[in-house]
Amino acid sequence: MKKRLMSFRYAWEGIVSLFSNERNAQIHLGAAVCVITAGCLFDLSAVEWCLISLCIGGVFMAEGFNTAIEKVCDKVSPERDPLVKTAKDVAAGAVLLFVISAVVVGLFVFIPHLLKLF
73 near 88, Cβ under 8 Å? yes
Q: Kindly provide the b/e burial profile for residues 5-40, where b requires at least 16 CB atoms within 10 angstroms of the residue's own CB.
A: eeeeeeeeeeeeebeeebeebeebbebbeebeebbe
Could you give the CA distance from residue 101 to residue 97 in angstroms, rounded to a whole number? 6
Could you give the CA distance from residue 101 to residue 103 in angstroms, rounded to a whole number? 5
Q: Which of 13, 22, 63, 70 is catalytic?
A: 63
70 in catalytic set: no
Catalytic residues, which ones?
63
